[in-house]
A and B are shown apart, each in its own frame.
Chain A
């Protein structure tokens, strides 16, 4: 039987698409391919009896086309503060185990990857002010994600747009922002002024809690 799990906390994600990631609308990626990075802080979470409160996750990923066409690769990164039990729990969640098919973005993304790189255990710095679109994920030597509000090209004022996916497998509501990513091997990424989103996640093995 699948182990019961839940995670709740802020997410910072960015990819190589233009603002307003077309995937959210089932359109095709701006550049034809998808290169992305994500960081999550678990404010509250568990996997069976193992508490996950306060731990962080990150990942870098790349697909040669749109995600749903598969053949991607992903690099899971787990908070070095996690105990061996917590590491195992987080990796199970991130790799889509103990999850209904298609119920979480972890499960979907991993099933669209041919290659899952061996996990890294690193210090993960994380900051997210979702309303202000101000986010930062830092895994020294591996990946840096920064987000800020999109600016109106005419007035220069911050532009706030939210996207709601009421049947989605990642979030119910996300602030759409501007992001940059710098990541090194095995999945090198280098973007600036591209799509980012920030959301409060609340997910179990059955999907997004609503």
Chain B
């Protein structure tokens, strides 16, 4: 069956409980064994079939007991309350890996690796990100508070600029890496302090990542 044509072009900030340089990006195991993290995103240009998604925001909070690829995770999607009912349904579908080819993007994989999909909630989401400067802040009252900043060199105290390129990646082609801290409340609650932060552009459609 033909899948619905959709596109999300935008910016994302992600933060997990691993050390700087998330081992997953290199097919290695999580620093502390388990994986807890989230992604906040803003759509600059997007559509789902004929429906425009421009300007909308969303977040997804995740938790796995081990490395992601071993599954048994839980996840919760949070959608911008400004989205209308059709836009809410479209984003809920995309962020749960719907209308997407098998394993073609990280939303598909993360959803498939989650046994528990908590009910999607609709909230005001404030989000500011400067990918090149490795800076981001996001706030979803009662759900998520986070800030990202550059990594500091322990030797010199200077900002450290490091980037990961994954030419065949399912999440990003290029990500600037920084430091993130966060507190989440609700269905999946955790606290992160100065751990892996990722700043990247999204260029996703149902067939994968646009190169």
Contacts and interface: CB of A to CB of B under 8 A. Distances in A.
Interface of A: 18-22, 24-28, 66, 68, 102, 150-154, 159-167, 173, 176, 195
A56 to B, nearest CB: 27
A151 B27 contact: yes
B200 to A, nearest CB: 13
Contact of B151 (A26, A154, A166): A26
Contacts of B163: 163-166
A96 B168 CA distance: 38
Contacts of B151: 25-26
B19 A27 contact: yes
A195 B22 CA distance: 13
28 contacts: A18-B26, A19-B26, A20-B21, A20-B22, A21-B21, A22-B20, A22-B21, A25-B160, A25-B162, A26-B153, A150-B27, A151-B27, A152-B27, A153-B69, A159-B27, A159-B166, A159-B168, A160-B168, A161-B25, A161-B26, A163-B163, A163-B164, A163-B165, A164-B162, A164-B164, A165-B163, A166-B163, A176-B26
B167 interface: yes
Contacts of A164: 162-165
A18 B26 CA distance: 9
Contact of A68 (B154, B167, B169): B154
A159 B171 CA distance: 14
B138 interface: no
Interface residues of B, number: 29
Contacts of A152: 27
A154 B68 CA distance: 11
Given A159-B168, A163-B163, 11 more contacts: A22-B21, A25-B19, A25-B162, A26-B20, A27-B19, A66-B154, A68-B154, A153-B67, A160-B166, A165-B162, A165-B163
B162 A18 contact: no
A150 B152 CA distance: 28
A27 B19 CA distance: 6
A167 B163 CA distance: 11
Contacts of A68: 154-155
A28 B20 CA distance: 9
Contact of B161 (A150, A160, A166, A176): A166
